[in-house]
Amino acid sequence: MTERLYYHDASLRTFDAHIVERADDGRRLFLDRSAFYPTSGGQPHDLGTLGGIAVTDVVDDGERVAHVLSAPYQGPDAVHGVIDGARRRDYMQQHTGQHLLSGVCEELFKWPTVSVHFGDAVCTLELGTPAISPAQLRRLEARANTLVTENRAVDVTFEDAADVAPRLRKAPGRTGTLRIVTIAGLDVSACGGTHVRSTGEIGAILLRRVEKIRDNTRVEFLCGDRAVRRARTDFDALSDIAARLSAGVDEVAPLVQALSDDARTMASAHKKLGEEVAGFRARAQWEGTLPDASGVRRLRAAEGMTADELRAFVSACASLPATVSVGAVRATRTIAVSVSADLDANAGTLLKAELQNVGGRGGGSARTAQGTVPTDAQVDVVLDALLGAVVGVV
């Protein structure tokens, strides 16, 4: 059995212990006591050193804790451990912040906590509610930060499950003695994780992205130093955008909205003009091309068209009488074809047949179709085949 020192003192950063078992040629150590927190309850494991060798993983092995090292330890059984203090402090802030947020969710909205995740970059809280409005998110964040400034005590006790059950936010999954983490006047939870001693040590709490997940809602949050770093990064990005727009930070949102509206209007106008240009191109080429013996005009799009221009061109050709048109965007090996409604042919069927011959993929409707081929050489092979397809006027 490993005595878990972090149960009683999460601020402990160094300790001395004795090795009770060595495994994997000294790369896996079991100690009589340890301050290293193993991955558990959604919280990642501690990092640090044992006997001067880096600890790369800490595993909860029933009543024991396994310490996985980066290199074999060949020293004496008496060993000195050092915890990565910055990492431990970070996860203490995140984990206690999660308890506080879960308590506030119950207090304000009666939202139960379904699951939690503590990541190296962000943490998430899955809540038993189908949606969270922006106003509710702001209220949740404001209340949580108020409780931080009140510096409420965070106490750890060991109590019998039957006695403490009525006070717990979530029913315990087992009987016997439980480790209880209590935020004064707000939350009581059974938890084996590491926590700060008062809410003031959590630091600022920042709520960010909200997303729907099944019948619940997931909220991304950051606490303490993480929240400050993220807020600084966000502000720097916003300031850079403001500078590029020659505007103040507070003016960015409405200005970006106005620019976005203008861009959509211009894109719509550009698309309309592109279609008109394609129509003129198609008509000009149609008038300059003689029909073949079957009365069909066969048009090939000019080289260098973009994908949008090519689609517009073949679509315009499809509206002309007795016309087959083809074209390609060589950079992507994309091929497009169109067939007029008065021809006894189907564009999608014609293209699919030719693509199958060369291992290409694609399809479309009776009037227009599009696909790709595996090699550059096959582009002209398919284009020539489509232009030479046997079609007749209905």
- Domain boundary among the residues 63, 83, 103 is at 83
**Structural domain of 296:** 274-387
- Domain boundary among the residues 42, 59, 83 is at 83
Task: Report the C-alpha gap between 124 and 118 in whole angstroms.
Answer: 7
- Does residue 248 belong to any structural domain of this protein? no
Q: How many domains does the chain have?
A: 3
Question: Do residues 372 and 353 share a domain?
Answer: yes
CA angle 196, 231, 254 (to 5 degrees): 145
pLDDT at 38: 96
Q: HEC string of 215-253?
A: CEEEEEEEECHHHHHHHHHHHHHHHHHHHHCCCCHHHHH
pTM of the model: 0.75
Question: Do residues 184 and 225 share a domain?
Answer: yes
Task: Report the C-alpha gap between 233 and 229 in whole angstroms.
Answer: 6
Asked whether 172 and 180 are in contact (CB, 8 A), the reply is no
Asked whether 143 and 104 are in contact (CB, 8 A), the reply is yes
- Cα 186 versus chain centre, distance: 32
pLDDT at 171: 86
Q: In this structure, is the dihedral angle defined by the CA atoms of residues 81, 84, 90 and 91, taken in order, positive or negative?
A: negative
Quick: pLDDT tens for 354-386. 999 999 999 999 999 999 999 999 999 999 999
**C-alpha dist (Å) from residue 274 to 123, 310, 345:** 47, 10, 27
- Give which of 125, 152, 130, 154 is closest to 141, Cα–Cα: 125
E runs forming strands in the chain: 3-4, 14-23, 28-31, 33-34, 48-50, 53-61, 64-69, 78-83, 113-118, 123-127, 154-160, 177-183, 187-190, 205-213, 216-223, 297-300, 323-329, 334-339, 361-364, 368-372
- Does residue 114 belong to any structural domain of this protein? yes
3-state secondary structure (DSSP) of residue 321: coil
pLDDT at 264: 94
Quick: pLDDT tens for 39-58. 988 899 999 999 999 999 99
pLDDT at 220: 97
User: Residues in the chain, how many?
Assistant: 394
Question: Do residues 233 and 113 share a domain?
Answer: yes
Q: Is 362 left (phi over 0), alpha (psi -120 to 50) or beta?
A: left
pLDDT in single tens digits along all 394 residues of the chain: 999 999 999 999 999 999 999 999 999 999 999 999 999 888 999 999 999 999 999 999 989 999 999 999 999 999 999 999 999 999 999 999 999 999 999 999 999 999 999 999 999 999 999 999 999 999 999 999 999 999 999 999 999 999 999 999 988 878 899 999 999 999 999 999 999 999 999 999 999 999 999 999 999 999 999 999 999 999 999 999 999 999 999 999 999 999 999 999 999 999 999 999 999 999 999 999 999 988 999 999 999 999 999 999 999 999 999 999 999 999 999 999 999 999 989 999 999 999 999 999 999 999 999 999 999 999 999 999 999 887 878 6
- Does residue 247 belong to any structural domain of this protein? no
Question: Do residues 327 and 280 share a domain?
Answer: yes
Question: Do residues 381 and 325 share a domain?
Answer: yes
Task: Report the C-alpha gap between 309 and 315 in whole angstroms.
Answer: 10
Burial profile 201-229: b = 16 or more Cβ within 10 angstroms, e = fewer: bbbbbbbeebeeeeebbbbbbbbbebbee
- Domain boundary among the residues 46, 68, 83 is at 83
Question: Do residues 73 and 96 share a domain?
Answer: no
DSSP state letter for 393: B
pLDDT at 308: 92
Question: Do residues 28 and 50 share a domain?
Answer: yes
3-state secondary structure (DSSP) of residue 347: helix
pLDDT at 143: 98
Domain of 346, CATH number, reads 3.10.310.40
DSSP state letter for 202: G
Largest Cα–Cα separation, the chain = 98
3-state secondary structure (DSSP) of residue 373: coil
Question: Do residues 77 and 97 share a domain?
Answer: no
Domain of 115, CATH number, reads 3.30.980.10
Q: Residue 13 corresponds to which tokens in the numbers above? A: 């950063």
pLDDT at 370: 95
Task: Report the C-alpha gap between 96 and 148 in whole angstroms.
Answer: 11
Asked whether 179 and 156 are in contact (CB, 8 A), the reply is yes
Give the number of C-alpha atoms closer than 13 A to the C-alpha of residue 74, restricted to the C-beta side: 2
